Chains A and B, each alone.
Chain A
């Protein structure tokens, strides 16, 4: 082909494809865009089954939407119109009725529920699924334990549509724990048929295929790229969702995610830095919903087994040296609830999280440090999880600067996300910035994992104090027995102690921000902070 002709045809082709196709060109496209929800996020699932080994958080969203549980939470509407899950009110999902007794709960399953392959849901499916959850180990088993669901013997099939959970101890958290993502009900017949000798729970099969009775099923999955859901037309546990098809695409660059949302080429995302949300709220081109993360706190932790942080005065000095407001402004752009600067350094109620009384006061910090015997300060390392660098990095830089002013010289240690858990377990890091949040929104739950002497991995401070343990244990027992007076006393007690001893300094309760196109409604905040597609609609 002669060069000139080639160039001509190439130019024509280039001109043709550079112009975006106007909507009128393909009415079919315009219509299906309406029925499809496009979600974008930085990363996607590595496993579609929450019981799987090493399943990361995005996989929880798939599990939530593709599987049903026995019960779920009702919704309540906050003052600003946001829909929020109601911690205390449960609604039927696969169980249409239940009876909470002294030694067990009996559930009556709905008779019309079917799995996505058409087989009916029975109590033996529920038992098999629950047995699986408490046996596979790892996170699911741990989460079941949080509600005293520990042994397969607790789960009893009374008949095809009646299921009983026996208690091994009275625990207020048992019922709420049955509404979290982990005790999902799987199509045991189908999944069992895929089991092998080395894989008795068929974890390999459920990793890439959903086998539930939930409102959506996974139609296709290219890990790391795209996940497509289709609505299950036979869903019985609630009204049929409005969105027929959900496409979830992974877009690594945060700037591009924002550009996509602002240009209307994507529908919904919550994976953006706080600054972007603050700006988008101002621009009002999109609908931004912000809710405080239930039972979640970003904090500065000090390992009480590593001097000089074993001295409470040193810890208090650090608490007075933190540049709280600077962090709220420059790191979170106001997208968080402050947990500092209360009038008194004591529990004002049994609500958690609540603010402590420390505020930025460098003079006081310096005085405390001198009292503790460090008039010239000391040197230490400040570590954070690189996986959350957007928040952690500026936070630590500001903290480093402020601590330097009272003589504490810190070197910043960025720990890759893959290694963060291992490092936490080692409990060697003297000073860290970290976040913890619990699915079950009760103060005794938070304190059990973070302050109790059992020294779980979440007790990153290695804080062990028998008085604290007594208060926490007392609160849990009081909750199960319904002893309101004792409960209040113990909860206020352990909060007071946490503030006085301050092994960790709460900074703020972060917001979960979601950005969506203005024509999207039905967003509801859940304790697991993932998207629930079942109530969403596109106008």
Chain B
């Protein structure tokens, strides 16, 4: 049986054995699906305002009700899936590449590289992380790209540390030696051999980071440093909608909040499942 088929069978076993993991995977698939389809699933233009129907509760015409400008909340929540999922994935990709590369280089080469990377990681860790993210977004401007950068920077130390530890271990292993003997440059070995091996270990952390990226964007929106209007993004919808709770218009914050919660919930639980599949030795 091929390695891939073996992995698939093991995956099915893991998912089947643990109902929570199974649920998480199912949710993940749904989220990806909605993110991909995006606009096409949304019945109404998420940016179209219609003040005549502002602040209406859920109804057959507007499943999730309308917000203060008369926009359909269901459409906005659906369209926001793509943006939030994109923020999550982009943040994780960025921090994995940045932190992973830096950490692996530090562990592999040692010496000055190690010192510099460790210093940077320590400095970042010494900051109160949310305030650092706030500072970065405030300084660079509040748009999606900078929010992704801020999230990546804040998570950098963790990835760098883990990657460094792994690279340290694998510096002198057999396959690395073999690659060296075959004439691969140190850089090629780093990127093609060592870095991919770091991935399984970071898998849990990566899905947690996806959840964190979305929560971070929401927190930033609460203090006014989130995405720009009229963008539909769960975090900013929750932040704005929270002010409407006291006056009774609960749906404005509830639906984006529920979507956000389900997504983050899913990512958090997903990590456990992925780790069980990828690296059974570390199962707890």
B246 within 8 A of A: yes
Contact B247 A276 (CB under 8 A): yes
Do A255 and B69 form a contact, CB below 8 Å, given A329-B51, A400-B230, A414-B142? no
Contact B247 A330 (CB under 8 A): no
B219 within 8 A of A: no
Interface code B219-247, partner A: CB below 8 Å = 1, 0 otherwise? 00000100011100000000000111111
Bound-state Cα–Cα, A183 to B221, Å: 42
A397 within 8 A of B: yes
Give the nearest-CB partner of B245 in chain A.
A255
Of the residues B138, B142, B229, B247, contact of A275 by C-beta under 8 Å: B247
Give the nearest-CB partner of B51 in chain A.
A330
Q: Note all chain A residues with C-beta closer than 8 A to B244.
A: 255
Most chain A beta-carbon contacts within 10 A, residue among B138, B229, B244? B229
A219 within 8 A of B: no
Interface code A395-430, partner B: CB below 8 Å = 1, 0 otherwise? 011101100000000001010100000000000000
Chain B positions 116-170 with a Cβ under 8 Å from a chain A Cβ: 138, 142
Contact B54 A398 (CB under 8 A): no
B49 within 8 A of A: yes
B68 within 8 A of A: yes
Chain B: number of interface residues, binned into ranges: 20 to 34
Instruction: Output the least CB separation between A362 and chain B (Å).
Output: 15
Chain B positions 237-264 with a Cβ under 8 Å from a chain A Cβ: 242-247
Contact A412 B228 (CB under 8 A): yes
Do A414 and B54 form a contact, CB below 8 Å, given A273-B243, A279-B247, A330-B69? no
Total contacts A-B at CB 8 Å = 54
Bound-state Cα–Cα, A401 to B50, Å: 11
A367 within 8 A of B: no
Contact B229 A393 (CB under 8 A): yes
Bound-state Cα–Cα, A511 to B282, Å: 64
A54 within 8 A of B: no
Bound-state Cα–Cα, A393 to B54, Å: 16
Q: Note all chain A residues with C-beta closer than 8 A to B228.
A: 412, 414
Chain B positions 29-61 with a Cβ under 8 Å from a chain A Cβ: 47-49, 51, 54
Contact B224 A330 (CB under 8 A): no
Instruction: Output the least CB separation between B33 and chain A (Å).
Output: 29
Q: Note all chain A residues with C-beta closer than 8 A to B138.
A: 416
Contact B229 A330 (CB under 8 A): no
Contact B69 A394 (CB under 8 A): yes
Bound-state Cα–Cα, A416 to B68, Å: 23
Contact A255 B246 (CB under 8 A): yes
Chain B positions 59-97 with a Cβ under 8 Å from a chain A Cβ: 68-70
Chain A positions 226-253 with a Cβ under 8 Å from a chain B Cβ: none
Contact A397 B49 (CB under 8 A): yes
Do A258 and B54 form a contact, CB below 8 Å, given A330-B69, A394-B68, A398-B49? no
Bound-state Cα–Cα, A259 to B47, Å: 31
Bound-state Cα–Cα, A386 to B142, Å: 12
Of the residues B51, B246, B247, contact of A326 by C-beta under 8 Å: B51
Contact B229 A412 (CB under 8 A): yes
Contact B243 A330 (CB under 8 A): no
Q: Note all chain B residues with C-beta closer than 8 A to A400.
A: 230
Of the residues B48, B51, B142, B247, contact of A258 by C-beta under 8 Å: B247
Contact A258 B246 (CB under 8 A): yes
Contact B47 A330 (CB under 8 A): no
Contact A401 B47 (CB under 8 A): yes
Instruction: Output the least CB separation between B246 and chain A (Å).
Output: 4
Instruction: Output the least CB separation between A390 and chain B (Å).
Output: 8
Contact B54 A330 (CB under 8 A): yes
Q: Note all chain A residues with C-beta closer than 8 A to B224.
A: 386, 389, 414, 416
Q: Note all chain B residues with C-beta closer than 8 A to A7.
A: none
Q: Note all chain A residues with C-beta closer than 8 A to B51.
A: 326, 329-330, 398
Instruction: Output the least CB separation between B67 and chain A (Å).
Output: 10
Bound-state Cα–Cα, A24 to B228, Å: 51
Contact B243 A254 (CB under 8 A): yes
Give the nearest-CB partner of A411 in chain B.
B228
Bound-state Cα–Cα, A386 to B47, Å: 21
Bound-state Cα–Cα, A397 to B142, Å: 17
Chain B positions 189-230 with a Cβ under 8 Å from a chain A Cβ: 224, 228-230
Give the nearest-CB partner of A255 in chain B.
B246
Q: Note all chain A residues with C-beta closer than 8 A to B242.
A: 255
Give the nearest-CB partner of A397 in chain B.
B230
Instruction: Output the least CB separation between A387 and chain B (Å).
Output: 9
Q: Note all chain B residues with C-beta closer than 8 A to A416.
A: 138, 224
Chain A positions 273-287 with a Cβ under 8 Å from a chain B Cβ: 273, 275-276, 279
Bound-state Cα–Cα, A362 to B70, Å: 20
Bound-state Cα–Cα, A217 to B190, Å: 70
Instruction: Output the least CB separation between B189 and chain A (Å).
Output: 46
Do A330 and B230 form a contact, CB below 8 Å, given A254-B243, A398-B49? no
Q: Note all chain B residues with C-beta closer than 8 A to A386.
A: 224
Bound-state Cα–Cα, A368 to B229, Å: 29
Bound-state Cα–Cα, A276 to B246, Å: 9
Q: Note all chain B residues with C-beta closer than 8 A to A330.
A: 49, 51, 54, 68-70
Chain A positions 379-397 with a Cβ under 8 Å from a chain B Cβ: 386, 389, 393-394, 396-397
Q: A273-B243, A386-B224 are in contact. List 6 more A-B contacts (CB 8 A).
A: A255-B242, A258-B247, A275-B68, A330-B69, A330-B70, A397-B230
Binding site for A on B (CB under 8 A): 47-49, 51, 54, 68-70, 138, 142, 224, 228-230, 242-247
Can you give 21 contacting A-B residue pairs, CB < 8 Å?
A255-B242, A255-B246, A273-B243, A275-B68, A275-B247, A279-B247, A326-B51, A329-B51, A330-B54, A330-B70, A386-B224, A394-B68, A397-B49, A398-B51, A401-B49, A401-B230, A412-B228, A414-B142, A414-B224, A414-B228, A416-B224
3 tightest Cβ-Cβ pairs between the two chains A and B: A330-B51, A255-B246, A326-B51
